[in-house]
Amino acid sequence: MSDFILSYDLTSLQWVLLGISGLLIGMSKTGLSGVGLMVVPILANAFGGRPSVGLLLPILIFADIFAVAWYNRHAEWKHILRLIPWAITGIVVAALVGKSISDATFNRLLSAIVIIGIGILVWRDLRSGKMKIPGSRWFAAGLGLMGGFATMMGNAAGPVMALYLLSMRLPKNNYIGTGAWFFFIVNLSKVPLHVWSWKTITVESFLLDVIMIPAIATGAFLGIWLVRLLPEKIFRIIIIATTLLSALLLF
């Protein structure tokens, strides 16, 4: 096992950041959704913007499996089916755009997506209880396209999906279950594009992700414990501040 790990020729810092990312993704699937956004700039700074997106995707799928298994019966499929076609369209557009731009431009675009996502999170918190969001098909189409583009470019559609689900005023378990199934379907749909178009998922990168499964599972249980321990407002401030700093470093 040690020989297999050493074969990747990663630095100690890269291994640490990869393990932390697995923990954070696990935590994000047990209710601390804002934590997942922090992983995007962490991995991008450690491995490069484009490679990090492919490296992160299987980790997200492993975590989605945990979430779907736990919250399966709470999903509201009418919302999922309303968003999926638009999200797939956004994914295809992002795949075409991302393939034709330089790595430096990709990093800047990835950073901008994360910062916009943080802005949505902050705005949503400030407007909590006061948001009047239309329930028309165009609202779902707009957020679906935006979410699809953001998830393909940087696995950063969490804030967009959160905005939609909160506007539908779903109960807590339904909110988590619907989001879990949505992201599981969307993330699986991105795999062929990452394998054959962007070539950011390889056998080697996938096996590296498999090594992170214990960290993902640990993060899921740690997330449950932290939700009970820390005041949510303080925790969110810390996460948003550190994520913003990491995103700015991509520039």
Q: How far is CA 233 from the centre of its chain?
A: 21
3-state secondary structure 100-127: CCCHHHHHHHHHHHHHHHHHHHHHHHHC
pLDDT of residue 71: 81
Tokens of 129: 């209880």
Q: How far is CA 106 from the centre of its chain?
A: 17
Round the CA-based radius of gyration of the chain to a whole number and report it: 17
pLDDT of residue 1: 47
Q: Please state, in angstroms and rounded to a whole number, the distance separating the CA atoms of residues 179 and 163.
A: 11
- Residues 183-217 pLDDT 10s: 999 999 999 999 998 889 999 999 999 999 999 99
Torsion of the alpha carbons at 107, 48, 53 and 6, rounded to the nearest 10: -170
The answer to whether residues 157 and 36 touch, using CB atoms and an 8 Å cutoff, is: no
Name which residue leads in pLDDT, 138 or 195. Answer: 195
Specify the DSSP class assigned to residue 194.
I
Q: Please state, in angstroms and rounded to a whole number, the distance separating the CA atoms of residues 235 and 184.
A: 26
Closest CA to 199 of 101, 54, 44: 54
pLDDT above 60 (res 2): no
Name which residue leads in pLDDT, 32 or 133. Answer: 32
- Residues 160-191 pLDDT 10s: 777 777 677 777 778 778 888 999 999 999 99
pLDDT of residue 33: 67
pLDDT above 60 (res 65): yes
Q: Please state, in angstroms and rounded to a whole number, the distance separating the CA atoms of residues 199 and 197.
A: 6
Residues 62-86 have a mean pLDDT of 89
pLDDT above 90 (res 42): no
Percent of the chain with pLDDT over 90: 29
- pTM reported for the whole predicted model: 0.82
- Residues 82-136 pLDDT 10s: 999 999 999 999 998 887 777 677 767 767 777 777 777 677 667 665 555 555 6
Closest CA to 156 of 194, 192, 118, 130: 118
Name which residue leads in pLDDT, 66 or 108. Answer: 66
The answer to whether residues 209 and 62 touch, using CB atoms and an 8 Å cutoff, is: yes
pLDDT of residue 20: 93
pLDDT of residue 27: 85
Percent of the chain with pLDDT over 70: 79
Chain-wide mean pLDDT for the chain?
Answer: 81
Which one of 22-31, 77-86, 142-151, 231-240 scores highest in mean pLDDT?
77-86
pLDDT of residue 229: 76
